[in-house]
Structures are given as structure tokens and as C-alpha cells.
């Protein structure tokens, strides 16, 4: 039976791809067939979408690019805006179909969202709608920096309000100069009411396989 997880964050640039790749490596280390999915990628550099390339490299299942990344948008903008500039509309049903095909090829599918949980895809749907349509439990990546308490608690409330289960969270250190990091993480651990899967240190060029060892996937009940 295939297991899937939807990875969201407290904002853009908080480490969703880092955590998604680490999860792929962690499950692969347990002998699982794994594949990453980036439903919508916005921001192309030299003809490549970096997040997608990293997810492909961390997967041990080979899949068609249109299944891994149904929507590849060039400007680094919010999905709905980038799609409008490309004269297309993102359809979450198309993403659902791609996910269904990936489920047939892997035991674990890690779906990395875009930006924060409520980022709009089109005039009707946002990230919350996609996670709900896919029927996936959510893992929240919290970028540990000033303001993370409010961002994390608001996002957790939005996830639960959507009806999606918040199954765990990861503390990802993104500001090495932040004061009271430990205290902030402790407060979040008390208030988020879900499993803390790991605390990731600030490292610019971290070895993702070593980072994977810092995540306790047994808390997800799927390893």
C-alpha cells in the first residue's frame, strides 16, 4: 500500500525541499521505493527547476517528469500569478491524476507544496484544497527565525481547519543568528500538538543523507 505525505511550510524559503528530500532518503534507507512530487514549480534557472531536480535526485523510483511536476512555471512568483503570465490555469484535478499515477510506482510519495499552505493556485483553489483532494496527512516545516511562533501556529490552525490531519512538524534552522532558538522550538513543541520529527541545523551545503538521519520517520507510522 502506498503512503503519501504533503509537505507544507510556514512561508516560502523555509526548507520544504530540504525536508522533502531528507524524508525521501530516510524512507529509502528503510528499503522503501520512494518518489518526490512537486505539483507546481515556479522559478526557472538555466532551463531547470531546482526543487524538482533535487526531488528527482533524492528519489529511487524513476517517473515521468509530467507526473513529478505537472506545472513548471518560469517566473519565481506565486503560482496563480505565474500561471496567468503563462496564459494557463492550474487545475488541481490534473495534479490529482499525476499523483494517482505516481502511487502505482512507489511505496512512499512525498508531495512538496508551494510556499505556504494557503497559497492560491487559481481563483478557486489553494494549497489546502490540493492536500485535501489528495487525501494526504500534512507535515509542517517551520523555518526557525524571528516570527516563527505566530507563523507556525497560524499555519497549524489553517491545516486543521481544512480538515487535513497535521501528522508532524520539522524545525528547520534558517537564521544562525536568531536568539533563543531552543526556547522557540520548545514553545512550538508544546503548542503544535503533533509529533516533532526532527530539528535540522543551519548548514548552507548540508549532506542531505546526513540530514535524513536527523528525522524520526517512525513517528509517522509508515516506515
Backbone phi, then psi, for 121, in 5-degree steps? -100, -40
pLDDT at 182: 96
Please state, in angstroms and rounded to a whole number, the distance separating the CA atoms of residues 156 and 172: 16
- Find all residues with CB under 8 Å of 221, minimum gap 6, and list them: none
pLDDT at 1: 65
Cβ atoms of 8 and 162 within 8 Å: the answer is: no
pLDDT at 3: 92
| Superfamily grouping for domain 3-220 | P-loop containing nucleotide triphosphate hydrolases (3.40.50.300)
Low pLDDT (below 50) residues in the chain: 222-223
Cα end-to-end span (Å), the chain: 12
pLDDT at 71: 97
Cβ atoms of 65 and 47 within 8 Å: the answer is: no
Instruction: Kindly give the residue spans of alpha helices, DSSP state H, lying in the chain.
Output: 16-29, 50-58, 65-68, 79-85, 92-103, 127-134, 148-162, 181-191, 208-212
| Number of Cβ atoms within 10 Å of the Cβ of 26 | 27
45 CB-side CA count, 13 A:
5
38 is catalytic: yes
Residue 156 burial class via C-beta count within 10 angstroms: exposed 0-12, middle 13-18, buried 19 and up:
buried
Please state, in angstroms and rounded to a whole number, the distance separating the CA atoms of residues 54 and 24: 11
CA dihedral 63, 65, 69, 72 (to 10 degrees): 170
Active-site residue, from 38, 48, 182, 204: 38
Cβ atoms of 4 and 139 within 8 Å: the answer is: no
pLDDT at 111: 98
- Find all residues with CB under 8 Å of 80, minimum gap 6, and list them: 90, 120, 121, 122, 123
pLDDT at 218: 95
pLDDT at 223: 43
Amino acid at each position: 500500500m502506498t503512503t503519501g505525505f504533503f509537505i507544507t511550510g510556514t512561508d516560502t524559503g523555509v526548507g520544504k525541499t530540504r525536508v522533502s528530500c531528507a524524508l525521501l532518503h530516510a524512507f529509502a534507507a528503510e528499503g522503501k521505493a520512494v518518489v518526490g512530487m512537486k505539483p507546481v514549480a515556479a522559478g526557472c534557472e538555466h532551463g531547470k527547476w531546482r526543487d524538482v531536480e533535487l526531488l528527482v535526485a533524492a528519489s529511487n523510483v524513476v517517473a515521468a517528469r509530467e507526473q513529478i511536476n505537472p506545472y513548471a512555471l518560469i517566473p519565481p512568483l506565486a503560482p496563480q500569478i505565474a500561471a496567468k503570465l503563462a496564459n494557463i490555469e492550474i487545475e488541481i484535478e490534473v495534479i490529482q491524476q499525476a499523483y494517482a499515477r505516481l502511487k502505482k510506482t512507489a511505496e512512499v510519495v512525498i508531495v512538496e507544496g508551494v510556499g505556504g499552505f494557503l497559497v492560491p493556485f487559481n481563483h478557486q483553489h489553494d494549497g489546502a484544497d490540493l492536500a485535501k483532494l489528495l487525501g494526504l496527512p500534512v507535515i509542517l516545516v517551520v523555518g526557525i527565525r524571528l516570527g516563527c511562533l505566530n507563523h507556525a501556529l497560524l499555519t497549524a490552525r489553517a491545516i486543521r481547519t481544512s480538515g487535513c490531519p497535521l501528522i508532524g512538524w520539522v524545525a528547520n534552522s534558517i537564521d544562525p543568528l536568531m536568539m533563543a532558538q531552543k526556547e522557540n522550538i520548545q514553545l512550538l513543541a508544546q503548542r503544535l500538538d503533533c509529533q516533532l520529527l526532527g530539528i535540522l541545523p543551519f548548514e548552507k551545503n548540508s549532506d542531505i543523507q546526513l540530514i535524513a538521519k536527523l528525522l524520526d520517520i517512525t513517528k509517522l507510522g509508515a516506515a
